[in-house]
Amino acid sequence: MAAWGHQVFEDDSAFDWYDEFCNSNQSIKIIENVFDTVITNDEYVDYDEGMSVFVACEIIAAAKGKPGEKTPDDEYHSFEEGAVPEIRFGILRKGLTDELIIKATKAAEKVCDHEQSELREHWAKSENLDAWKNNILALLERIK
């Protein structure tokens, strides 16, 4: 059974994308592509696409020194077997432009409000829609 909660890192899909990013070259371009994909998508935004937007925003927040309560910490990155590399925040900070933050905000708002967002549909069916939206609004404040 998959885990999920109203905070970004209470979702298995979030960790899947996070781990993928950590194991990549950790380029700011990867993060920007996530935002661009959702922004330019005029059709259905699937669950994983939406979640990747929020994880990318969490990575930006952490790079700015404002990690979320559930953001993976040193302990997460230090498991002996199958350790996930730590994010090189110093390198990422160099790519944090105002334009990127605008894209991040636009993509996150689209996932939260777009009628054809699977993630939004999921939360609209739950009694925690407001908690989820408030968490995303707080995340967007942390990336400013």
Average pLDDT over residues 105-129: 89
Nearest to 14 by CA among 28, 23, 24, 3: 3
Banded model confidence at residue 4, pLDDT cuts 50, 70, 90: low
Q: What is the pLDDT of residue 97?
A: 96
Strongest mean pLDDT among 10-19, 45-54, 109-118 = 45-54
Q: What is the pLDDT of residue 1?
A: 34
Answer yes or no: are the C-beta atoms of 104 and 143 closer than 8 Å.
Answer: yes
User: What is the DSSP code (8-state) at residue 41?
Assistant: -
Q: Is 115 exposed, middle or buried (0-12, 13-18, 19+ CB in 10 A)?
A: exposed
Answer yes or no: are the C-beta atoms of 69 and 34 closer than 8 Å.
Answer: no
Domain ranges for the chain, please list them. 8-142
User: Residues 49-66: pLDDT tens digits?
Assistant: 999 999 999 999 999 999
Rounded-to-integer distance, Cα 59 and Cα 85, Å: 14
Q: What is the pLDDT of residue 27?
A: 93
Q: What is the pLDDT of residue 30?
A: 97
